[in-house]
A and B are shown apart, each in its own frame.
Chain A
Amino acid sequence: MIHPMKQENRDFMRHILFLGKNSKWYDRADSSELKGSFFRPNQKFCVEHAQRSNIVVDHLNVTIQDNPILKEVSVEIPDRKITCIIGPSGCGKSTLLKSLNRLLDMNEDVHISGSVLVDGEELYAPDVEITHIRRKMGLLSQRPCPLPMSIYDNIAYGCRIHGIRNRKKLNMIVRYYLQAVGLWDEVKDRLHTPASRMSIGQQQRLCLARGLAVEPHFILADEATSALDPISSKTIEDLFLKLKEEYAIVLVTHTLRQALRIADYVIFMYMGEIVEAGPAEQIFKNPRQELTQKYLTGVFS
């Protein structure tokens, strides 16, 4: 069987699906010259990204109903790493995450100033084509939220929106991403049953697969394991550890131990401000700020 996590198999699948690493495969899925290049072994199949994808948040201020939620937040989110945002409840972790794909300003009474650059593109520019940026950001919410359709359609939904109608191709995409999250063997016999009948852990993995199917560069996870049982959480964490080879993962978490287990970078927030940010080892072993130390040792939480 094709194992989705082995690099050579991933490349193989990408060739079949005419995907390039981080290239916009839906834009070129029907181009015939791709087929040509596919059969020329010496030629590079896809254009590598000149620069790695990243997010740069610069002096971001968010007020909701005149309460400042984020104050002058500046941070950079690295590619192909797991960045954990930690901090006590109400410190603005989730707000920061939501402001990264502009789901925040769909609510009323939200004022945002500052800038967020996604791969060099200003997210809060007035004329930005937001769907194109949101597609780059897979979102995994706290409670799994499958779409009200079958398992198959859940994955195919995003692809259909981006113009893939070919049944064969959709079948392959669905199978590929269900394998990628380890769901294929569990659900292959009931792909056309409602997604809401799956267990909650399976639903969360389905949501992950659904997000991955539109080929994002980032995965934004908002306490993605807090509603799950320990075994499902472990599965999701393991998936993150594998996925970070290809994606930048931003994970808001409430459990310090989870951050300890999987974080490469840690952002510690308190009262809407970033207190400290840096490599996980440094933050956990010798935090520079007293506040961070207090939080880590459990003086407050």
Chain B
Amino acid sequence: MMKLKFFEEKAMKGVMLITTLLVFLFVGSILYTIIRNGWRAMSWDMIFSLPGGGFYIGKEGGLLNAIVGSLYIVGASTVLGLIVSIPVVFYLNVYLKKKSKLASVARLAYDVLFGIPSIVYGAFAFTIMVYFGLKSSLAGGIIVITLLIIPIFIRSMDEIARQLPSDLLNASYSLGATRYETIRVVIRQIAPGIATATLLSIGRAIGDAAAVLFTAGYTDNIPTSLGQPAATLPLAVFFQLSSPIPAVQERAYAAALILTILVLILSILGRIITNRFSKNRIQ
């Protein structure tokens, strides 16, 4: 007779295998749905030309406005987010002591920000824009997405930075470096963390519809200045999918497909960059 613990072992192994395979199933079925529904509407025109009519009818033309708008917003907010969050992480982990009150309050604040849904960010930004009499614009979208991804940046970089070996910092100090000069060491050591954080942030930023709904607006044109509204891919999906016309719904799936491919490309790029940066890392 099989002993109980061997049976247990086998059963649990089976459960683990099934759940692992389930994840593949999810990914596969999502891709299948998007591709099946969007494939017919996909064409080079869809990627490289502007919409021909109004975006609710959208008979001809492509989604270039949304693609470019999304890339503008994601690119600018990622850069801005990095500029804000690297000093924060550096200050929390190199300047403040481990049990510092300020550090724990700050971390709590970032955790709260992390959990706030993006529609709340959108509503908040919208209130402020109304107060200042601003219209929905590329700048508004960039700012709200920046606010949205800063907590993601900080959280995921902080996770890595907290594991900074104190020996490493001491090695730098003992060469006569100030804390600020030690940033060169810290940045190199947490480079993989920065890359992962960037990937996560880009994924969130490019896919977020709620935050840009009020702030960036939607348009059929490519914005030429920060003051003009900008279209984004998630909103292109949202608006077109809610149309009753099947042809327009197909365009929505095409937009979703483009969005997924973009995220895939960015992830692969990020992976390559991460590997390049993490080769120097000390275990």
Contacts and interface: CB of A to CB of B under 8 A. Distances in A.
A275 interface: no
A145 B97 CA distance: 21
A135 B170 CA distance: 12
A149 B188 contact: yes
A157 B184 contact: yes
B181 A145 contact: no
B282 A148 contact: yes
B167 A141 contact: yes
B225 interface: no
Nearest to A207: B171
B175 A145 contact: no
A258 interface: no
Interface stretch (A79-87, A101-109, A245-253, A284-292): A101-109
Contacts of B191: 148
Interface in A124-158: 131-132, 134-135, 137-139, 141, 143, 145-150, 157-158
B282 A145 contact: yes
Nearest to A98: B170
A147 to B, nearest CB: 5
A100 to B, nearest CB: 10
Contacts of A103: 170, 173-174
B168 interface: yes
B11 interface: no
A175 interface: no
Contact of A214 (B176, B185, B280): B176
B3 interface: no
B97 A138 contact: no
A150 B185 CA distance: 12
A11 to B, nearest CB: 25
Interface residues of A, number: 32
B173 A134 contact: yes
B67 to A, nearest CB: 37
A291 to B, nearest CB: 31
A158 B281 contact: no
A157 B175 CA distance: 9
Contacts of A194: 279-280
A150 B280 contact: yes
Given A145-B168, A148-B188, A161 B177 contact: yes
Contact of A196 (B98, B165, B172, B280): B280
B283 interface: yes
A30 to B, nearest CB: 18
Contact of B175 (A143, A196, A210): A210
Given A107-B97, A134-B176, A143 B280 contact: no
Interface string B246-263: 000000000000000000
B163 interface: no
A139 B171 contact: yes
B185 A148 contact: yes
* Size range of the chain B interface in the assembly: 20 to 34
A interface SS class: mixed
B175 A158 contact: yes
A25 to B, nearest CB: 13
B178 interface: yes
A139 B174 contact: yes
Interface string B92-115: 000001110000000000000000
Interface string A224-268: 000000000000000000000000000000000000000000000
Interface in B266-283: 279-283
Contacts of B78: none
B167 A143 contact: yes
A147 B188 CA distance: 9
A131 B176 contact: yes
Contacts of B188: 147-149
A256 B177 CA distance: 34
Given A134-B176, A135-B175, A148-B189, A196 B170 contact: no
Interface centre among A134, A162, A210 (most CB of B within 10 A): A134
Given A131-B177, A194-B280, A147 B97 contact: no
A269 interface: no
Nearest to B187: A148
A95 to B, nearest CB: 14
A138 B282 CA distance: 20
Nearest to A195: B280
B281 A196 contact: yes
B172 A147 contact: yes
A134 B169 CA distance: 13
B175 A214 contact: yes
Interface of B: 97-99, 165, 167-168, 170-178, 181, 184-185, 188-189, 191, 279-283
Given A137-B174, A145-B165, A195-B280, 16 more contacts: A103-B170, A103-B174, A108-B99, A132-B176, A134-B175, A134-B176, A135-B176, A139-B171, A145-B282, A148-B168, A148-B189, A148-B280, A161-B175, A161-B176, A207-B171, A210-B171
16 contacts: A103-B170, A103-B174, A137-B174, A139-B174, A141-B170, A141-B171, A146-B282, A147-B185, A148-B189, A158-B175, A161-B175, A161-B176, A161-B177, A196-B281, A207-B171, A214-B175
